[in-house]
Structure 1
């Protein structure tokens, strides 16, 4: 069901590791042309294009693209009690963690009478995309909306695909989560067209453009986010989910197997990797996967994911080699289950989120850990981070000088401006002291 890659006895460089790493064969770029056409149709046709795309892709024509506020409130009231309790708890935990991500303003004093204030200013308006498709993601509503609210974003629009099973409206559990968070601007629109609508606005729908778009989606959503980047900010081009587990002989093979299966059920393109210095553990995990995967309700999807080129059991010489492999991979989710978790953790540089110990499964982070589950995929954790309050904040510097500290640096500033062949820069300073 899952392939084994044996790297024992090898010392590949990081460049060589990058070539050895198993990845899904689907490339976001192949969806770019189609995504561009869908975005342009929305820019030209507005609501009519969004209705057409809903009929084409979601097989339903919504009664209205904007969900009435009364429907959102009703959906919140109708949430199953345990689901509601879980969402309320998730909101509280993610709020606390997100608040820790907001830096306090800092003031420096380069000289008496001179100050530079560093402040973090939220964008005024954000767009959140919550996918439909194979699963329902009220947790993604929480993970996207809460950091924006904590950052101070005053206007949030949420888009999620129309559901044929619910008369063309957004899934009621998504609506319920939005209602718990006080979001009353929700649109039954999906895919690349929804990203275009959020980025550029839709006049005849009263949808104003946003400044930042966050949220996961399929390859067309990822391609659309790439296309609108520059007109708006985006969190990342989130693709299919990934889990990489570093484990040794002391790990529980059953726990490792169920964690790999749990992420494989997201999508056929999901990646699940075990990196271990124990061939015995690798064999035991493979056996447990073969035993347990057919028993889950998502067995068909799990089987495709685990048999794909993106999933593997990787054998290495030691845990240092396992950490090196993981750093080259840059997993979205990294689990560490070893005899000395902290020693392995000290070797980790690149990961979206790290789950340490046998009682910290990725599933906890998906729902109730308090961490955010919107994380970089496809190796982007090597150079970017997951979603947080900082996604919606912009650092700004406020500079304030009195005459005396400006005069103190004037001569040197003029000299630098002349050295750069930009004398007017220096003249702008000198003019402040040459006037009567």
Structure 2
């Protein structure tokens, strides 16, 4: 059964409306999911450990007499690290080293300066005290997500990183625990779902409250993160995975087809788009898609994703390709062209940009170094990849000298009285020297 991919042409009069339809994704939360999540969060907030235990038994079929029993010791994490095959251990360590090296370059430092009358101004950069990391468990186990979320937090200097990971039916993934050991995660609880998000947000007798929750999860986890935002910070509400490839028609079409598959295999809602000025190349990639699809383990998922949400877009030239890409603001953007640096100048919105024919997006998911937690659904227009800066906060430093308080107090007085805030004005005026 061949896959027929949507074709769009940027020269058509209705292209903009066709593109809008292609990109539309309904992220509205099912009413029943919302109600269920709110109930779970309320129970965890009011009943703490007991609620966590009940929901863990109900949803993960895991019985424990206390939440303390659900905590994995550091020795258990080390045991997992030693238990996995050596090639996996080496690969995890190599990926962790690259991720750490990249993120160490993002660290922001405090700074100060002094103006002409001795007033000191500046910014104090401080890490969060505690961060919570949600990691999917069971079949959907992603050790790479542990590295990408925990390492920037540790580089930022976060005091304690708490990881929660469900273990349905007691199924523990050693690769995830090994990644936690390598990344330096401080505490691990085998709790998942909305109840884990609630525990991290509100704290229980055993699980400490955190300042920010990061990490991917299912619809219940995403909804819970949305609900607790404001009580704690969150990284983002992520939509389905996306890849957009701009190709000049000179890359092997099999490579491009597999790059598109690399996101399509995540789930049926994932979106894979190819833009090219070469119409014959679009045909060649579609032929590769149909040739390679039967060889894929997740062929059914890929087929649904490619049929429902993929597109092959014909444009006049690479300049127009960049304009269409900026409209889409993709999570992952591959510039599979002769001169990616030149095309890069035209790109304004993308979560991560992969330069040249040899840079498969998949490398970025695991071991390139930059973070794979990226803005989706067009939010790259105003959002950035997860980074060290997400685990640091900034405090303004203001220290007026007597001379500065006199000079700027006069300015504040005028503005405060203009706003009708007399106490503000008089507070500033007390510091003004008499003109006599």
8 Å CA contact 1:8–1:317 kept in 2: the answer is yes
CA distance in 1, matches of 2:314, 2:216: 31
Deviation at 1:156, TM superposition (A): 0.8
Tell me the equivalent position of 1:127. 132
CA distance in 2, matches of 1:62, 1:328: 50
Deviation at 1:13, TM superposition (A): 9.1
Q: How many residues were matched structurally?
A: 428
CA distance in 2, matches of 1:35, 1:317: 48
CA distance in 2, matches of 1:53, 1:277: 53
8 Å CA contact 1:112–1:405 kept in 2: the answer is yes
Deviation at 1:315, TM superposition (A): 2.1
> 1:207–1:28: structure 2 CA closer, same or farther, 3 Å change rule?
same
Determine whether 1:264 maps to 2:257.
Answer: no
CA distance in 1, matches of 2:430, 2:142: 60
Q: Please identify, of 353-362 and 97-106, the stretch whose mean Cα deviation from structure 2 is larger.
A: 97-106
Deviations 1:306-327, CA, capped at 9 Å, x for gaps: 222x222222232222222221
CA distance in 2, matches of 1:239, 1:52: 29
Partner of 1:74: helix, strand, or coil? helix
CA distance in 2, matches of 1:169, 1:187: 13
CA distance in 2, matches of 1:26, 1:433: 55
CA distance in 2, matches of 1:416, 1:24: 47
CA distance in 1, matches of 2:15, 2:300: 36
CA distance in 2, matches of 1:60, 1:296: 34
CA distance in 2, matches of 1:13, 1:400: 56
Aligned pairs for 1:340-355 (under 5 A) are: 340-355=339-354
Which residue of 189, 192, 199 corresponds with 1:190? 192
Partner of 2:23: helix, strand, or coil? coil
Tell me the equivalent position of 2:394. 395
Partner of 2:132: helix, strand, or coil? strand
Determine whether 1:70 maps to 2:41.
Answer: no
TM-score, length-scaled by structure 2: 0.92
CA distance in 2, matches of 1:398, 1:388: 24
Deviations 1:148-188, CA, capped at 9 Å, x for gaps: 00111011100111132xxx264211111111233241111
8 Å CA contact 2:248–2:277 kept in 1: the answer is yes
Deviation at 1:84, TM superposition (A): 1.1
Partner of 1:118: helix, strand, or coil? strand
8 Å CA contact 1:191–1:221 kept in 2: the answer is yes
Aligned pairs for 1:166-177 (under 5 A) are: 168=170, 170-177=172-179
Tell me the equivalent position of 2:244. 244
CA distance in 2, matches of 1:96, 1:434: 53
Tell me the equivalent position of 1:415. 414
Tell me the equivalent position of 1:200. 202
Tell me the equivalent position of 2:358. 359
CA distance in 2, matches of 1:59, 1:286: 44
Instruction: Give me the CA root mean square deviation.
Output: 2.2
Deviation at 1:2, TM superposition (A): 4.5
CA distance in 2, matches of 1:129, 1:393: 19
Deviation at 1:11, TM superposition (A): 6.5
Gaps of 5+ in 2: none
Partner of 1:386: helix, strand, or coil? coil
CA distance in 2, matches of 1:369, 1:281: 28
Tell me the equivalent position of 1:48. 50
CA distance in 2, matches of 1:143, 1:384: 17
Deviations 1:279-303, CA, capped at 9 Å, x for gaps: 2111111111111122122222222
Q: Please identify, of 253-262 and 276-285, the stretch whose mean Cα deviation from structure 2 is larger.
A: 276-285
8 Å CA contact 2:410–2:428 kept in 1: the answer is no
Determine whether 1:275 maps to 2:275.
Answer: yes
Partner of 1:111: helix, strand, or coil? coil
TM-score, length-scaled by structure 1: 0.92
